[in-house]
A = this chain, B = another copy of it.
């Protein structure tokens, strides 16, 4: 289920012109389910929540917001959206084949130095994943 929503949310973002990386480690040690970079360098983080319990158990999602211009939750269609998800954040509903942005997030703007560091980290991580047979330095 989580994998399906992740895949569908990635497709939604790619259709919107974003390039996507899964399981992106952030400088604060958290790992974003999806990080996306847009054509003008805008950075989005998408956290996948498969069910209410998954959201309730997560006390750390606000730790992601400091590393993105745009923050989304991605959930399956049967997730109780109205009850639980903070309304300032974006909302994507997705299944394995795709999905839709139901609510755009409020835009924050990353500081230039942080955007630069995140973009570099994203670039290196994405490229290193293309060489699975070579150990990372």
- A binding-site residues for B, Cβ under 8 Å: 10-11, 14-17, 19-21, 37, 39, 41, 116, 119-120, 122-131, 134, 136-137
Contact = CB atoms under 8 A, between A and B. Distances in A.
Contacts of A125: 19
Contacts of A14: 128, 131, 134, 136-137
Contacts of A128: 14, 19-20
Contacts of A116: 41, 116, 119
A43 B41 CA distance: 18
B37 A123 contact: yes
Given A123-B37, A123-B122, A124-B37, A130 B15 contact: no
A31 to B, nearest CB: 16
A130 B131 contact: no
Contacts of A19: 123-128
A116 B116 CA distance: 8
Q: Which of A11, A16, A39, A128 gathers most chain B CB within 10 Å?
A: A128
A5 B64 CA distance: 41
Contact of A20 (B20, B37, B122, B127): B127
A11 B126 CA distance: 16
